[in-house]
Structures are given as structure tokens and as C-alpha cells.
Chains A and B, each alone.
Chain A
């Protein structure tokens, strides 16, 4: 990476002299790169993270310019995100578009964060903080010129969800009757969806940075889209995202009631159990579909990986959960 050209660009973007003190590659896999850059801006030290793509990779994740726009929109409504600083849409400078955001302290590891909360018997305050963050995200409503890349909002979010899952199952090439059974249940029983809002669509432990019991950033916006707010509520609270802490219904972090109270405090309305259950079922179906898709990446040779291979063996458990949830809902006991 040419730090001379980069510091010149950063200085122009910041409207102030920026000098790069150090650059270090952080995490990031085959597709993305994250760099920690220590700089001085007008003589004051700051720590930034630069996010870009590997130039040669075909990326499925949301292009950087769109991620930047989502971060800005989220920041504007008070969501705790890494402050987006500068976007460079020109691939000429680093080989691919990139953006720069402020570094955030904390840890996003789901296992570490869930383990810490569970050791204290659950963290109601942190669960409530998750609810408040989610409600802030849901303040963003269509139409939004700056988020036009998300496409038009669905007429009915649940109907759109069912169609998307069926299309993904067809593309997967393997019949999954348990998931079909659960989708058919949703199709025949779900009430009309709520008007669409911006949903994060991967709001769960593991994508939320936590430092000393406080949320420092909501990360990983690449699945964001217009949907029913219950889609996010169901995803966060579904059993499959509690990381072994089944009793802590709010993401393995804390009690459901605290999470929903935090949500209601900001949203101004109280989520109801019946709709939440339907979207928890939807979350289980979606994770099963994604897990099957990840195994297919391994099987097809696109990305040979033991982790992806083992993810395929999560699918029967998720199918079983979807089936069990469906029958419990039908019997009226969920």
C-alpha cells in the first residue's frame, strides 16, 4: 500500500494535514481487508480503520460505498457504529474502493461476550442496550435516496422472505421438506407484516462490539435491507443465536423482557410475543438455508474449508428446531 499517496488523499478528504504514523493489517479474509492506521491529523494522534476489498476477488458482500452509506445513515439516527470518516470510490488509489472509519475499542466474539454475560447469570442492562440499538436502526424508513441501492421495500416482508427462502432452497438443489413445512406454516398463518424499516438482518451476538459491558459498535451491515422490524427481533432472540445459553433468550446475553423493554423505550411500542415467535421460526429457517449454502461453497470448490464443511452438519439440527417450533406454534404452546 502506497502510504504517500494515501496520506495525500486523506489530507484532501479531511481538509487538514494527515500524516500516517503506522499501518497494520488486521483481520479479514479472502475478500476483505481491514487496516489499522495510526495518524496525526493537524498534529493530533488518531486511530482509524481502513476497509477495502482484495482487488481480484469477486465480492458477494455489500460494496464499500454502500456500507459507508449505511454507517452514515445509522450514525445519523444515533446507532452506535464506528464513525464513518471518508470514502474513496476511486479504485485507482489502492486497487479497490475503500473507506476509513474511527477505531472502536472492544470485542465482538460471540463466545467471549456470551460467556461473560452468562457467568453473571445474564446481563439485563446489556440486553436492554441491544434493544435500544435495534430500535434506533429501525427509525430509518423508506424512501431514502441515499440508500437507493437497497432496492424498493417489499410489499409484505414475510411474503418476500418466504419467496427468497424458496428461491434459495431451489438454488441449493436439495429438497428440505422440514424447511418447506415450516415455510408453508408461515405462509398460511402469518398476519400482514408491519411497514418496512431498515433491518440490519444480522444483528446478533458476534456482530456487536462490546467493551466492559457496553456496546461500542454495531458491525457487519452487509445484509441490511427493508423488512419487518420483527425480522431483526426474531433473529437476535432465536435459540440458534444464543450460543449455548438457551435460557438467556436475548442473544445469550440476557433475559428477553429486558431486551424488549429496551426496544420499547426507544421505539415507543412493545413487541408482542406471537409475532416474535413467527420471526424466530423465520430466523431458524434462514440460518438453516445459509448454513446449507456455506456447505455448498465448500462442496463446489469455491472455498474449500473445514469450517464450512462442518457448518453443513448444523443443518439437520436447525431443520429439527424449525419443525419443533412449527408444531409448538400450531399447538398454540409457543
Chain B
């Protein structure tokens, strides 16, 4: 069994330090990079917690190109579910509003 705190805790704690302590103390030209660091920690935390499974079988890309999936509602639903699952990890804020 791993030692606590776990990855999620460490990443969240580190992110809070970057945003609350480091960012205000940094010169203007370094702030964008500090925000990127905070963002990377946030995405990494969601990647670690992600339990979604791939919904699109290998070879689907070629099948779509060849027209074998035209109008196939089940394929569209699988693509939607797969994309949505990855979006929830990469940038869930895009789904707000």
C-alpha cells in the first residue's frame, strides 16, 4: 500500500501553492508560465483519477473514411461518449455555460 497523501492530494496541494503563494510573488513576465504549471497539475490530477474506458474500436477511423459508418447512430453515440470522457479530463470547464 502506498504512503499517503496520494497523488490527487499532492497535486492539489502543489497547485494551491503555485496559485496562492508563488503567482502573486512572481514578476509579470513569469505569471503566464506559473498559470500553465497550475493548469498542468490540475489536468494531471484528473488524468490520474480518470476511470473511463475507450469506446471506439481500433480501425474506426478507416471505416468512417470508407463510408461504412454513414448514418450509423450507434457509432456516433460511441464517438460522442468517447470524446466527452476525454473532454471531462482535459477541460471540463468547456462544458459549463
Q: Which residues of A contact B (CB under 8 A)?
A: 166, 169, 175-178, 180-181, 183-184, 188, 306-307, 309-310, 313-317, 319-320, 323, 327
Contacts and interface: CB of A to CB of B under 8 A. Distances in A.
Interface stretch (B4-12, B21-29, B56-64): B56-64
A103 B33 CA distance: 29
Given A314-B91, A323-B83, A177 B56 contact: yes
Nearest to A312: B90
Nearest to A175: B61
Nearest to A319: B83
Given A175-B60, A310-B36, A310-B43, A184 B67 contact: yes
Contacts of A315: 90
Contacts of B40: 306, 309-310
Contact of A180 (B36, B65, B80, B89): B65
A178 to B, nearest CB: 5
A320 B58 contact: no
Nearest to A307: B36
Interface in B67-83: 67, 69-70, 75-76, 78-80, 82-83
Contacts of A327: 76
Contacts of A176: 61
A317 B65 contact: no
A310 B90 CA distance: 9
Most buried by B among A180, A181, A307: A181
Nearest to B33: A306
